[in-house]
Structure 1
């Protein structure tokens, strides 16, 4: 038996931003309805260097396991922050069907989730949108926004990354403060620095927090979470390893305070309440999102000339 091996370039060629957006949206709804299932990600930590994550999921006739890393100090060594593999199997027979680069799958689903949450929760008439953090996942978020007809402003501490992101169809923000003041802000940083201090959110904003996907990470002050209408990708995962975790531990946020995005997309939960609402989406990254991207790539792989491995 031989299976296709999808490199970063092959994954990005197989799955367009529009395809990724649709696939991840459908995955959120399927997960909400119990049709796609997953367990919270398992962390194998080697802090302060970084961590390894094992992420399984089942749905749509397939099973997936993603083994992926997050080592924030790697760029200084000339290495990527995220590396790993996605293994996709047939759920009925257990046969391996594809091996995919994890970093590209992660970038596509991260971008899709952040933009999808913004589209779903932003105030009607919102005009300005910013992406803060222009690494691999941030750049993919820019690419997805541009594919949806929006022109984001971008900010990164690294001027070269800002320039590279602008070349994707964005504009460089005048400053970090300028970016954080936009109607919609999607943060895609390593989560090592608080971007929104206490009292900084303004009425009507929507914030998609994509960077704080593990213990000890935060892009917003814990106290500020109490001022926002809160949403997450998965409560079980977010309450233990996401932006919400510190607020839950401090007693600021309870389960009843947080709505899962899948419920809103399925039409079974309320989204934004009014124009003054500050909506905040905490993304921890779900294996069902990876499954959606991997399946989309597999279906297109028959059209691509891809290397295969014999098993």
Structure 2
């Protein structure tokens, strides 16, 4: 079995490699060459931690496995490690034998950013110039760096419930040579692309905060009860997602499905756009929305890519298991 420790991931996995892995697995999902297993996510009743499993099988990439991990809210304060902790396990699809164990913390941040970046590539207007960020935490910096590579953006605007955190994304904008402006939520009408990356259980982005022609990526809702945007926005938009089953159960679409303003048939797979079986954006004035719920196959795709790179570079640790 090959082990790739967390400490090695930063020198192995690039944003480009993560983008390619996620784009390919989304396409495989839409072609029914890959499927996710049901998600297990539980409060363990200890230190307020959430723990769970995401897994799947990609026949096209011959990748089988799972990601185990979750959220420990006291880690940063009490243990000086990040609150999100995860590990990816890969198995040989032909034999079932464990083939790799890979640190999953940085990979999770990179694959989440890659997912919204893939959606921007395929759904945002080609002439998009202003990108808006809702949320300014650790993951927001990954989101913004990846997104800026998809269009010739000229300005970044941002809002966060805790405005003292906005320098996190302002720094990324400055590094990219772009001006940054803190705005109120109604100022998001200036944005051509909006990324929402929060852990909110009540909507902040409303339908009247979004101008015609905008592309929105909702990347924070991955649990029952979470919500980043009001349901009226989903009914105004053409909705896409990584996986429909997760979108309607734990994703942003769960609330619109529950109140009857959206049906499962109204939601489209981003993989179908990648494959060319869905046209994607049909008009400049159309609002498109990507509900990024985070699927296990994303984790397996980037972990598999890391294992190959680790072997090529002689970094992989091999153990008899």
State whether TM-score is above 0.5.
Answer: yes
Within the candidate set 2, 15, 18, 1:17 is matched to 15
2:86, 2:105 within 8 Å by CA — same for their partners in 1? Answer: yes
Gap runs ≥5 in structure 1: none
Question: How far 1:133 sits from its partner (Å)?
Answer: 2.4
User: Which segment drifts farther, 161-170 or 84-93?
Assistant: 161-170
Cα distance in 1 between the residues matched to 2:73 and 2:193: 25
Question: How far 1:3 sits from its partner (Å)?
Answer: 2.2
Q: Which residue of 1 aligns with 2:65?
A: 64
User: Which segment drifts farther, 145-154 or 186-195?
Assistant: 145-154
1:173, 1:179 within 8 Å by CA — same for their partners in 2? Answer: no
Within the candidate set 285, 294, 301, 2:303 is matched to 294
Distance 1:13 1:44, change over 3 A: same
Distance 1:197 1:145, change over 3 A: closer
Q: Which residue of 2 aligns with 1:277?
A: 286
Deviations 1:48-94 (A, max 9, x none): 94522211111222211101213567656655231111111211122
1:154, 1:162 within 8 Å by CA — same for their partners in 2? Answer: no
Question: How far 1:95 sits from its partner (Å)?
Answer: 2.4
Cα distance in 1 between the residues matched to 2:14 and 2:263: 37
Deviations 1:169-201 (A, max 9, x none): 364333243456310011111234522124322
Q: Which residue of 1 aligns with 2:2?
A: 3
Counting only pairs closer than 5 Å after superposition, residues 82-231 of structure 1 correspond to structure 2 as 82-148=84-150, 150-151=152-153, 153=156, 155=158, 156=160, 157=162, 158-166=165-173, 168-169=175-176, 171-177=179-185, 178=187, 181-231=190-240
Cα RMSD, aligned residues only: 2.5
Distance 1:187 1:180, change over 3 A: farther
Within the candidate set 219, 229, 240, 2:249 is matched to 240
The answer to whether structure 1 residue 55 and structure 2 residue 65 are counterparts is no
Cα distance in 2 between the residues matched to 1:172 and 1:76: 30
State the secondary structure of the residue aligned to 1:83: strand
Gap runs ≥5 in structure 2: none
Question: How far 1:223 sits from its partner (Å)?
Answer: 2.5
1:5, 1:308 within 8 Å by CA — same for their partners in 2? Answer: no
